[in-house]
Structure 1
Amino acid sequence: MIQVVLCDDHAVLRRGIRDTLTESPDIHVTGEAGSYPELREVLRTAACDVLLLDLNLPGRSGLEVMASVKETHPDIKVLIVSMYPEDQYALRCLKAGAHGYANKAGDPVQLIAAVQTIVQGRKYLTPEVAQLLADSLAQPTPELPHESLSERELQTLVKIASGKRLSDIAEELMLSPKTVSVYRARVLEKLKLANNAELTVYAIRNRLV
């Protein structure tokens, strides 16, 4: 029996994922969490072979949570499940140590295949991610400026470029407006941009939005 824990701050999405996974007789969902503090508590008692982890959690990013989980539970395999398109985040997640990346907009049945693949110690790649990986190996390109951003900085960039106000971003990420302003300042500095308009143009040119 494959024992799975779900970590996503949207209860409705968690329920949908749980219902999909439990259609497979060899998968058992042993726990659920909506945030990193909740996940820590769940992992104290719940058996877990595979963690399905949302990339956009309140307070801490999914990659930050994954790094912490790997320190405390090195045997747990992590599948990132996100609403972000593969070409924005998949390779970044795999490089950070994820065992696979699945888009929430994809076929739910893929989640079963992903869990069954990952528990065997193999990486799970959708055809889209496999193509991205092949392209990156065949034609290595210089690192783009935004690839040096931290996860929170990249999220801030994408949300600002999508037209969201700092106060809205702060509420979504469960951070203070001051903290989001700091992330914005770091993004502008690292990308050598002057304002939100230039930031938005950069994001569009690099297909981040």
Structure 2
Amino acid sequence: MHKPMFAHACWGARRGAIVLLTAALAAGLAGCAGTGERLSSMVTPYKVDVVQGNFISREQVQALQPGMGRQQVREILGTPLMVSLFHGDRWDYVFTLKRPGVEAQTRRLTVFFKDNVMDHVEGDEMPSEAEFVASLSSKQTSVKVPRLEATEAELARFPKAPPAAEPAATPAPQPATSYPPLESPRR
């Protein structure tokens, strides 16, 4: 099929306009000092928080007692991140949190067993749950927490609901004294 001559001319004009527009944009950006730096500071890639392992709190470590079985330890701390084939009496719990702009947090806890009962625990000082949550706060340090309780004066502005009339006491139905058979009669 042969295209008409004006179709080639239209495509050529469009392509020329695109090239001209691209060249004008590049020249405009090149002429502005520091535009590349400003543009790169406005457009930053999203970086995700990387959480690996089990978070172990101080409260969980305090709940451990020598003589506990493996299942009891697992119920308190969760499944260990590493169980070595060569060290069957040792469970390693490792927690790592990497966040952009914040120093990485790494904590380790090792639980040692003797005759399938917990013998002792070694590892880093663990934060309490409240301390850990506080360490997760974002870069905003001046977050205003709203007051969540109303004063008596604020409550007085709202009309009080009339007391609900108590429904007439109806006698509770009597339980059945005979029940249908559980199985159908055999034929």
Answer whether TM exceeds 0.5 for this pair: no
> Higher strand proportion, which one?
2
What TM-score, normalized to structure 1?
Answer: 0.19
> Higher helix proportion, which one?
1
